[in-house]
Amino acid sequence: MSGTIGVIGLGGMGGGIAGRLLETGHDVSVFNRTASAAAPFVAKRATLAATPGAAAAGGIVITMVANDAALEQMASGEGGFLAGLPQGGVHMSMSTISVALAKSLAERHAARGSHFVAAPVFGRPEAAGSGKLWIMVSGAAEAKARVRPVLEALSQGIEDLGESPEAAPTGKIAGNFMIAAATEAMGEAFALLAKSGVDTRAWHAMLSRSIFACPIYANYGRFILDRAFSPPGFKLSLGAKDIGLALAAGQEKQVPMPFASVLRDRFTASMAQGRADLDWTSIAVNALADAGLAETHG
Amino acid sequence: MSGTIGVIGLGGMGGGIAGRLLETGHDVSVFNRTASAAAPFVAKRATLAATPGAAAAGGIVITMVANDAALEQMASGEGGFLAGLPQGGVHMSMSTISVALAKSLAERHAARGSHFVAAPVFGRPEAAGSGKLWIMVSGAAEAKARVRPVLEALSQGIEDLGESPEAAPTGKIAGNFMIAAATEAMGEAFALLAKSGVDTRAWHAMLSRSIFACPIYANYGRFILDRAFSPPGFKLSLGAKDIGLALAAGQEKQVPMPFASVLRDRFTASMAQGRADLDWTSIAVNALADAGLAETHG
Amino acid sequence: MSGTIGVIGLGGMGGGIAGRLLETGHDVSVFNRTASAAAPFVAKRATLAATPGAAAAGGIVITMVANDAALEQMASGEGGFLAGLPQGGVHMSMSTISVALAKSLAERHAARGSHFVAAPVFGRPEAAGSGKLWIMVSGAAEAKARVRPVLEALSQGIEDLGESPEAAPTGKIAGNFMIAAATEAMGEAFALLAKSGVDTRAWHAMLSRSIFACPIYANYGRFILDRAFSPPGFKLSLGAKDIGLALAAGQEKQVPMPFASVLRDRFTASMAQGRADLDWTSIAVNALADAGLAETHG
Amino acid sequence: MSGTIGVIGLGGMGGGIAGRLLETGHDVSVFNRTASAAAPFVAKRATLAATPGAAAAGGIVITMVANDAALEQMASGEGGFLAGLPQGGVHMSMSTISVALAKSLAERHAARGSHFVAAPVFGRPEAAGSGKLWIMVSGAAEAKARVRPVLEALSQGIEDLGESPEAAPTGKIAGNFMIAAATEAMGEAFALLAKSGVDTRAWHAMLSRSIFACPIYANYGRFILDRAFSPPGFKLSLGAKDIGLALAAGQEKQVPMPFASVLRDRFTASMAQGRADLDWTSIAVNALADAGLAETHG
C-alpha cells in the first residue's frame, strides 16, 4: 500500500478513479470544489479533506479537473496542494492539461522538494471505475515508481513516455486530436453516403469489424449515427479546449496542423450553434448540416 | 461451381484474386494487357484469354484494373467484355471506380441483358491471395446471388449495400477517404510529438493496442514511422485518384468535405514533389516537412 | 471594319457585347439557343443567324456561353461554327472555359485552317455594353491582330498573355479564384467584426478607400453587407464551376491550392443550402452562418 | 497644440511617428527600451524621457511597440506610464494589440482617472513619417477629441469606430487578416500560372490596374514576384502574431475562420522553415514550394 491517496476532482472521471481505489483497498482522501459530490465516497470509507492541501497530506495526490485554471486554483489557491504535499510527495496529474502548465508545475514542485508526474488517461468514466483505463505516464523515474501500484489499479495498460513532465501531456493532446479527426472523417463520410443513398449503418458496421475494428470508430461512429449526443460522455466544450491545446503546442513547436485547424473551425462553429454541452462527437453535425442534411442539434 | 470465371487485370490485387480462385478449385480464364503477367497463372491451370471478351465467355467476369479509363477500354474497346459476356452473365467490378462509371456500366449491361455487380475490396494483395479480403457488394439481387460463392472464396467478410450499382463504389471511395484521413492525422500527430521530444514509437504502440487497435492505425502508422514507402503497397498516385473520386462524388451530391480537400492538397503536393510512385502513406511526409522535420522522400 | 462579326450567346454579357459592337458601327450576326433573346438586337440592325455556323460565316465569331458543354455544342453540334467558319477565320472565346477545352478547340481549328483566340473578360454586363471590359488575350499573333479592333471596341484595357491558347483561360480562372478568395476573406472578417460589436460598414468604408481601394473590395463588400444577392450579377453556380476549373487546372499542373479547396467547400455548401441562383458573393453567408449569425438566404 | 506628446517605442513605425510630430511643430518626449534609438530624435528637438512614465507626463502618450508583452511592460513595469500619466491624460495605443489587452488597459486607465484610446494604423514607416497613415480609432469621445490633432498630423484618413476600446484593435486585426489572405491568394495563383507557363508579371500587372487596383495587390504582389522579402517591411513573425490574435478573437467570439486557419498553418510552416525574419509576404513561398516550384528562402 502507498499510504493515503488524495483525489482532487470528483466528476465522472475523478469519481471513477476514487471509487476504484477504494475498491482495490487503498485509503483515499477526497476533495471537490462542490463538497456534496464527496458524500458517496465518504460513505464508502474515504476521508473528506477540507482543502486540496489536506487531500495531499498522505504524500500522493491525484488531480482530475476540468482545465488549466481549475488545476492552478487547486495547486496554488488558498489551501492549495503545492503547499500541502509533504517533502518527497508526488502530484499525479491525470486530466488533460496544457504543456505549459505541466512544465510550470514540474518546476514549482521541484523547487519545493516534491514531484510532478503526468499520467493522463484514455477511457470513459466506466473504464476508470473498473480499472480499464489506458494511461500515458511521464516524469522522474523514482516518482513514477512510487505511483506505479496506483496506476496499475486503475488501468489495463500503461505506457511510459520518459522523464519529461511535458511528454505525457503532449501525448494525450495528440491522442485527443486523433479522436476528433476520426470523428470529423466519419461525419464527412456519412454525409457523402447519406446523400448518395447508401446505407450508412451497414457501411459503418463493416468498417468497424474490418480495417477500423477499434473502439473509436465502432463507438463514436454509432454515437453519430444515433445522434446520441446527450448526455455527453465528454463535452464538446472540453474537446474544443483540447484542440486549442494541440494547436497551441503546435504553434510553440512550429508544427502546422491543417486537420487540427479544420477541427478548430468545426468546434468553434459547433459552440456558436449551441452544442457546447453535447457530446464532442456532435462536431460531426457540421459536415451533415453543410451538406444540407441535418437539422441542427442545439 | 460457377463455370469458368474470367479475371481481367493481373496486377498485385488481380493476381491475388486469380490465384485464390485457382487454389479454391475454380476454373479461371485470365486476361492482362501485358500478356507476360498471365504466364504464372497459366502455369497453374488458368486459361489464357486472347481478349477481355474471351475472358468473359464463361458468364462471370471480374475486373481489377488501375482506373476508369482502363476499365472502359476493357469493356468497350476492341474485343471488349461487354460484347463478350453471354446473356445473363455477370460483370463483377472489384477495383475502385467512379460512381459515374458504375452507373454507366450498369445501364450498358442492362441494355444487353447482362448484369453489373460492384464488389470493391479492402485489403492488400496478400489478403486477396489468402481469401482474407473485406468486400462491399451492390447490384441486382439475382446477380449478387450468382457471384456469392466467388465472393466467399475471396473474403473473410461481405457487406451487402443493396441494389444500386453505385452504392458499393461510393462505399469504397468513402472508405479510402477514411484511410487517407487517418494517415494525415497520424502525420500531424507524429510531427507534433517529434518536435516535442516525445517517443513517437511508444506513443503509437500504445494507441495501437487501445483506442485505435485496428489494422489501419497499427500498420499504416508503422509504415510512416519506418518511412517504409517503397515498394508501395498502394501507390500514392492511385490514392490521389481516389480522393479525387470522393471529391467528385461530393460535388455531384453537394457534400462539402474539408478533410478531403486538405487531403487533395496533400496528395497534389506529394506528386509535385516526386512521390507519385511511393506508398500512399507517404502523404504524411508533408506534415513532417512543413514542420521543418523531414528530408523529402522523392 | 472587320466584316460581319458573329456573336453566339446573348445572355447579359453576350448581349452587352453585341450591343456595344452595334453601337460602334460593326455589322453583327447573332445566334442564341433561345431565339427570342435575339429580337432586341435584330431591332438594332443585327442579322439573325439560323445556326452557330451561319453566325460564323463572316470570318470572326465570338462565343459567350455558360459552360464547356454549351460551347462544345455550339462548336460541333448540328450547324456548329467549327464547320461554318471560313478558312482563315477566327473564333474568339470570351467566356470562362476550361484549359482542356481551350486546347482542344485550338487543335480542331488548326486542323481546319481556322484560328482560336482566347479572350476572357473581367467586368459585368454594364461594362460590356459600354466598352469598359478588361480583357486577357492569347493565341496566334496574326489572329490576335485581326480581332484587335473588336477587343478595343469592347474594353478599357487589354493584356496579351502570349501565343498559347491556354494562357488566357488559365489567367481568367486564376482571376476568378482571386475574386472568390477576397469574398471569403470579407465574409470571415465581417463575421468577426459583427460578433465583436464593431461597425462593419465603417470598417469596410475605410479599407475600401485605403489599402483595398479597388472595385472588388468596394463593390463586393457592399453586396455582402447589403445581402444584395438577388438578382445575381454572376450566379453562384457559375462561380462554383470556375473554382472547379481552378482546382482541375491545379491538379493537372500539380499545384496544391488550399484557399481554392476551402472555396470549393464553401460553394458546395452554398449550393446544398439552396443558393445556386443567387449572386456568387453569397458564399460569404457560410462564414456568417457558421458563426451563428446569419439567417440562411435560400 | 496639445502640450508635450510622449512617444514610446522608436522602431520604424514609432520613429516615423515621432519624426512627423516633430516636423509638424509638436513638442515630443521619447522613450525606447534601447536608448540609442532615441538619439536622432533628441538631435531634432525631442526630450529624452528616462522612463515610460516620464514620457507620459505631458498628458498624451503614444505607444508603438512589438507586442502585448512589451506594452504591458511599458504600462505597468517599473516607471511605467500608467502611473506616470496625469489625471485626465490619454494613452493612445497605435500598435496592433490583442482585444483582451485593450480591454484590460481601458479598465486600468479608468480606475486611475486617465483614458485609453485605441488608434491602430495601416501603412509602412514611410507613411508614418510623411503623415500618410490610415488610422482606425475607438475610445471615449472626449479622449478622442483631445488626440484628434495628433491623429490628423499623422494620417491621410481617420475612421472612428465608436466608444468601445476593443473596436479599433479588432478592426486592425481583421484588416491584417485581410492582407495576409490576399497574399496567400496571390501565392496560389502565381503557382498555378507559373506551372501553366503563363507570364505571371503580365497577369499581375493587368489585375493591379483593373479589378484589384489597390496598394495591397499592386505592392505585395510585386514583392512576391521579385522575392523581395529582405529587408522586411513587416516581419513574418509579427504577421504570425497577428493571425494568432485574429484566431484568438474568433475563438472568444465563436467565429470560425477557415482562411485564417490556413494562414496560421502557412505562417507556422514559414517559421519552421526559417523565414521568421523575412517580410510577411514570404508566406507565399509555401504555395510555390508545395507546387515543387520554389527554392526555399531561409
Strand (E) or helix (H) holding A135: strand A133-139
Q: Answer yes or no: do B251 and C268 touch at CB < 8 A.
A: yes
What DSSP element (H or E) covers B187? Answer: helix B167-195
pLDDT digits (tens, 9 = 90+) for A286-295: 999 999 986 5
pLDDT tens-place string over residues C19-63: 999 999 999 999 999 999 999 999 999 999 999 999 999 999 999
* pLDDT value at residue C237: 96
- pLDDT of C297: 39
pLDDT digits (tens, 9 = 90+) for B138-149: 999 999 999 999
Chain B residue nearest residue D265, CA to CA: B290
Separation between Cα atoms, residue B72 and residue B88, nearest integer Å: 20
Domains identified in chain A and CATH numbers: 5-165 (3.40.50.720), 170-290 (1.10.1040.10)
pLDDT in tens, chain D (298 residues): 458 999 999 999 999 999 999 999 999 999 999 999 999 999 999 999 999 999 999 999 999 999 999 999 999 999 999 999 999 999 999 999 999 999 999 999 999 999 999 999 999 899 999 999 999 999 999 999 999 999 999 999 999 999 999 999 999 999 999 999 999 999 999 999 999 999 999 999 999 999 999 999 999 999 999 999 999 989 999 999 999 999 999 999 999 999 999 999 999 999 999 999 999 999 999 999 999 986 543 3
Residue in D265, D286, D292 closest to B272 by CB: D292
Judging contacts by C-beta atoms under 8 Å, the chain B residues touching residue C268 are 250-251, 254-256
Q: Which chains have 3+ CB pairs within 8 A of B?
A: A, C, D
Contact of A198 with B161, CB cutoff 8 Å: yes
C192 contacts on D by Cβ (under 8 Å): 170, 173-174, 177, 246, 249-250, 253, 255, 257
Give the whole-angstrom CA distance, residue D218 versus residue D223.
Answer: 9
In tens, the pLDDT along B118-127 reads 999 999 899 9
The closest CB to that of C214, out of D177, D199, D214, belongs to D214
Q: Using CB atoms, which chains have 3+ pairs under 8 A with D?
A: A, B, C
| Helix, strand or coil, per DSSP, at residue B228 | coil
Find chains touching chain A: ≥3 CB pairs under 8 Å.
Answer: B, C, D
Which residues lie closer than 8 Å to B74 by C-beta, 6 or more apart? B8, B9, B31, B52, B63, B65, B80, B81
Q: Which runs of E-coded beta strand occur in A10-101?
A: 28-31, 47-48, 60-63, 90-93
pLDDT at residue C295, rounded to an integer: 56
CB–CB contact C268 B250 (8 Å): yes
- Position D1 scores a pLDDT of 44
Give B3's pLDDT tier (boundaries 50, 70, 90): confident
In chain D, residues with a C-beta closer than 8 Å to the C-beta of C122 are 210-211
Sign, CA dihedral B211-B213-B215-B219, equals positive
- All three cell numbers of A155: 488501468
Burial C57-73 (b: 16+ CB within 10 A, else e): bbbbbbbbbbbbebbbe
Mention every residue, 6+ apart, whose C-beta is less than 8 A from residue B135: B94, B119, B120, B121, B122, B151, B154, B155, B157, B158, B159
Task: Give me the mean pLDDT over the B13-18 stretch.
Answer: 97
Name the nearest CA neighbour of B291 among D241, D276, A246, D265: D265
Nearest to B273 among D272, D274, D292 (CB): D292
CA distance D288 to D279: 16
- What distance in Å separates residue B2's CA from the closest CA in chain C? 43
Chain C residue whose CA is closest to A274: C292
In chain D, the residue whose alpha carbon lies closest to the alpha carbon of C217 is D212
Q: Where are the beta strands (DSSP E) in chain C?
A: 5-8, 28-31, 47-48, 60-63, 90-93, 115-118, 121-122, 133-139, 155-160
Chain B's closest residue to A211, CA to CA, is B215
- What local confidence, expressed as pLDDT, does residue D3 receive? 87
Question: Could you give the C-alpha distances from B94 to B69, B151, D105, in angstroms and in order?
Answer: 15, 10, 66
Residue type, B72: E
Q: Which residue has the cell 486592425?
A: D172
Cell 469504397 belongs to which residue?
B172
Helix (H, G, I), strand (E, B) or coil at C17: helix
Flag if B210 and A136 touch (Cβ within 8 Å): no
Q: Inform me whether the pLDDT recorded for C3 exceeds 90.
A: no
Q: Which of B108, B24, B57, B23 is nearest to B8 (CA)?
A: B57
Catalytic residue from among D103, D172, D235, D253 = D172
| Confidence at residue B223, expressed as pLDDT on a 0 to 100 scale | 97
The answer to whether D273 and D298 have CB atoms below 8 angstroms apart is yes
Shortest Cα–Cα distance, B281 to chain D (Å) = 17
> Residue D151 corresponds to which cell in the numbers above?
491623429
Here the cell at position C273 is 443550402
Determine the distance in angstroms separating the CA of C109 from the nearest CA of chain D, rounded to an integer: 22
According to DSSP, the residues that pair with A250 across neighbouring strands are none
Mean pLDDT of C250-269: 96
pLDDT given at position B2: 57
E-assigned strand segments in B12-51: 28-31, 47-48
Which residues on chain D place their C-beta less than 8 Å from a C-beta of chain A? 244, 247, 250-251, 254-258, 261-262, 264-266, 268-269, 271-272
Angle at A186 between CA A183 and CA A189, to 5 degrees: 155
Total residues belonging to chain B? 298
Banded model confidence at residue C74, pLDDT cuts 50, 70, 90: very high
The whole-angstrom separation of Cα D196 and Cα C171 is 10
Mean pLDDT of all residues in chain B? 96
Query: Any idea which residues of C carry the catalytic annotation?
Result: 172
- Cβ separation C291–A274 shorter than 8 A: no
Q: Which residues of D touch B (CB under 8 A)?
A: 258, 265, 268-269, 272-274, 286, 290-292
CA–CA gap between residue D191 and residue D203 (Å, rounded): 12
Q: What is the model's pLDDT at position B297?
A: 39
Kind of pairing, strands A133-139 and A121-122? antiparallel
**What mean pLDDT, rounded, does chain C reach?**
96
pLDDT per residue over A185-230, tens digit each? 999 999 999 999 999 999 999 999 999 999 999 999 999 999 999 9
CB within 8 Å: B254 and C272: yes
CA distances from A17 to A13, A120, C40, D112 (A): 6, 12, 82, 49
| Residues of chain C neighbouring B257 (CB-CB closer than 8 A) | 265
Contacts of D211 in chain C (CB under 8 A): 122, 134, 175, 179, 214-216
C-alpha cell at B268: 497534389
Task: Decide: A99 and A249 in contact? Cβ < 8 Å.
Answer: yes
Select from C175, C182, C290 the Cβ nearest to the Cβ of D182: C182
pLDDT at D294: 65
Task: Answer whether A264 sits within 8 Å of D265, measured CB to CB.
Answer: no
Q: Which residues of chain D does C246 touch, with a Cβ-Cβ cutoff of 8 Å?
A: 192
Alpha-carbon gap, residue D81 to B153, rounded angstroms: 82
Q: Which three cell numbers stand for residue D62?
A: 503614444
Q: Which among B172, B195, B235, B253 is annotated as catalytic?
A: B172
- The whole-number pLDDT of residue A297 equals 39
- Alpha-carbon gap: D289 to the closest alpha carbon of chain C (Å): 9
Residue B50 is placed in which grid cell?
A: 486472347
**8 A C-beta contact, residue B252 and residue B169:** no
Amino acid at position C27, single letter: D
Distance from CA of A15 to the nearest CA of D (A): 31
Please give, rounded to a whole number of angstroms, the shortest distance from the CA of C256 to a CA of chain B: 5
- Residue C221's H or E segment, with its range, is helix C221-225
Q: How far is C85 from chain B (nearest CA, A)?
A: 33
ipTM of the complex: 0.95
Our CA-based measurement puts residue A189 at a distance from the nearest CA of chain C, in whole angstroms, of 14
Of A272, A286, A292, the CB nearest to C291: A272
8 Å CB contact of D291 and B272: yes
**Which of the four pLDDT bands, split at 50, 70 and 90, describes residue C296?**
very low
d(CA A124, CA A248): 25
Contacts of B284 in chain A (CB under 8 A): none
Best D184, D241, D261 residue to mutate vs chain A (most A CBs within 10 Å): D261
Residue with cell 456534496: A36
Residues C290, A265: C-beta atoms closer than 8 Å: yes
Look at A256 and D269 and tell me if their CB atoms are within 8 Å. yes
Q: Kindly tell me if the per-residue pLDDT of A298 is higher than 60.
A: no
Report which of C23, C108, C34 is spatially closest to residue C70, judged by C-alpha positions: C34
Cβ separation of D264 and A268 shorter than 8 Å?
no
Contact B157 A210 (CB under 8 A): yes
- CA-based angle B236:B92:B29, to the nearest 5? 95
Backbone phi, then psi, for B263, in 5-degree steps?
-65, -40
> What are the CA-CA distances from residue A23 to residues A19, A20, A28, A30, A48 (Å)?
6, 5, 10, 15, 17
Is the model's pLDDT at C173 over the cut of 90?
yes
Q: Do A203 and B254 touch (CB under 8 A)?
A: no
- D-chain CB neighbours of A256 within 8 Å are 264-266, 268-269, 272
As a whole number of angstroms, the distance between CA D157 and CA D131 comes to 10
What are the pLDDT digits (tens) for B70-126? Answer: 999 999 999 999 999 999 999 999 999 999 999 999 999 999 999 999 999 999 899
Q: Give partners of C (≥3 CB pairs < 8 A).
A: A, B, D
